[in-house]
Amino acid sequence: MLHMIEVKYTQERRDEALAYFQEHGMTHYDGGLVVKGLWVSTTERTAYALVEAANPAEVDAACRPLEEFGEVEHRAVITADEL
């Protein structure tokens, strides 16, 4: 199942958050996550990751370390072809 992760980082943590994503992305997480893409907004303090995971608990675990940068949410998504 696909999940979209949204990280709204704080202004104070901006440089740290961007450096973290540039260095690590989300590729260093174990537990069955497959990273499909990582994007950073040019107009907002938000980063997005599209991941594939069989279990939402795996996504929860991967999101915990990101909470140090700000608000983190994830939700299950489908492709437009699946509508």
Terminal CA-CA length for the chain? 14
Predicted pLDDT at 34: 85
Whole-angstrom Cα distance, residue 56 to residue 74? 9
Half-sphere exposure of 81 (CA within 13 A, CB side): 0
Q: Look at the domain 2-82 and name its fold.
A: Alpha-Beta Plaits (3.30.70)
Please state the domain extents for the chain.
2-82
Whole-angstrom Cα distance, residue 67 to residue 58? 15
Predicted pLDDT at 35: 85
Residue 27 has pLDDT above 70, yes or no: no
* Contacts within 8 Å (CB) and 24+ apart, 26-29: 26/51, 26/62, 29/61, 29/62
pLDDT for 55-82, tens place per residue?
Answer: 888 898 888 888 999 999 999 999 999 9
Six-digit token string for 79: 């492709």
Q: What is the mean pLDDT of residues 48-60?
A: 90
pTM (two decimals): 0.83
Place of tokens 């997005």: 48
